Structure 1
Amino acid sequence: MSKQVNILYISLSGNTKAFIGKLTQYFSKQGITVNALNVKEFPEFTKLKLPFVTFLPAFLKGGNGTDNGYTEILTTILGDYLAYENNYIHCYGIIGSGNRNFNKQFALTAKQYAKRFGFPLIAEYELRGTESDVLRIAQRIMEQQKVFEK
């Protein structure tokens, strides 16, 4: 099992960053190092060479969440980072988050990125996530990373 998890993410309201913090603590107890890059804090694009997982909250504008309109806002820099120098080829999956009150818009951006870039949607969680979300997502990350590295 790999002893390192690389994460590319964006956090605007602090929810995703808080979840990454909980995930990092969990992995640390397992002897696994987490290297996390918030593209909002380091907006200068670099070529990524190591396998990584992506976290993306849903920030959308317009529509009612069920049948009309939803345009990604505020998080498009993450898509640009993935596209830069084909960084997405090293991504073994994406994890989406959001607020379930927004119906079909919940984690929608992550689903759109999975389709756009051709990597799997690994999991979803709401807002800052729960302890059970941390355990479930950590397990799925390690499983997907193992598949990707083969």
Structure 2
Amino acid sequence: MQTIQVYYISLSGNTTSFLKNLDRYFQQEYQKKLKYVNVKNLVKDGKSLAFDIKKHYFAFLPSYLEGGNGIDTGDTEILTTPLRQLIAYSKNREYCLGIVGSGNRNFNKQFCLTAHQYAREFGFSVLDEFELKGTETDIKRIAEKMDRQLTEIPV
């Protein structure tokens, strides 16, 4: 069974919950499984334990911002920097097939803003977005997009 690598951040558990359901769906529908690593667990003594990534992966990122409205203020990332540090390390950005953002639509312009900031900074696409723990429709749509990205990898 093919394994799909995912690096992500989950603080409240919503993104982890989404990935568990996405993994289940991938196994049932695509005969592929996710290997997902919460990079908040790769922090020791306040420092990210970055390493070289040698295979393609996807990133999943909730938005945690410092308040404001996401336009004039409130566009500064907080709590998710270990993922930024991992992607920025060495040539890791080159292996990212895209990022999926999550958040709460109640935050209007800040919804998934961090994922869009990463995409601009690192030069990969935002594959999709979902709210909170996501829905079954989100899982199916995102799985399809991820699978499509995997089939487009040059050999």
Structure 1 runs not aligned, ≥5 long: none
Counterparts in 2 of 1:20-31, with a 5 A limit? Answer: 20-29=19-28, 30-31=30-31
AA aligned opposite 2:25: Y
AA aligned opposite 2:54: K
Go from structure 1 to structure 2 and tell me whether the alpha carbon gap of 1:20 and 1:117 turns closer, same or farther (over 3 Å shift): same
Counterparts in 2 of 1:1-150, with a 5 A limit? Answer: 3-29=2-28, 30-43=30-43, 44-149=49-154
Question: What's the offset of the Cα at 1:31?
Answer: 1.3
State the Cα deviation string for residues 6-60 of structure 1 (Å, max 9, x = none): 1010101100000010001111113102111110123322211110000000000
TM norm structure 2: 0.90
For the 8 Å contact 1:66–1:103, the answer to whether it is kept is: no
AA aligned opposite 2:69: N
Larger displacement relative to structure 2 (105-114 or 57-66): 57-66
Aligned length: 149
Q: Once superposed, which parts of structure 1, at least 4 consecutive aligned residues long, lie more than 4 Å away?
A: none
For the 8 Å contact 1:24–1:34, the answer to whether it is kept is: yes
Q: RMSD of aligned C-alpha atoms?
A: 1.4
State the Cα deviation string for residues 130-149 of structure 1 (Å, max 9, x = none): 01100000000111122234
SS of 2:90's equivalent in the other structure is helix
For the 8 Å contact 1:49–1:90, the answer to whether it is kept is: yes
For the 8 Å contact 2:2–2:33, the answer to whether it is kept is: yes
Go from structure 1 to structure 2 and tell me whether the alpha carbon gap of 1:14 and 1:118 turns closer, same or farther (over 3 Å shift): same
For the 8 Å contact 2:65–2:78, the answer to whether it is kept is: yes
TM norm structure 1: 0.93
Q: Distance in 2 between matches of 1:94 and 1:5?
A: 14
Question: What's the offset of the Cα at 1:69?
Answer: 3.3
SS of 1:40's equivalent in the other structure is helix
Larger displacement relative to structure 2 (68-77 or 19-28): 68-77
AA aligned opposite 1:91: C
Question: What's the offset of the Cα at 1:66?
Answer: 4.5
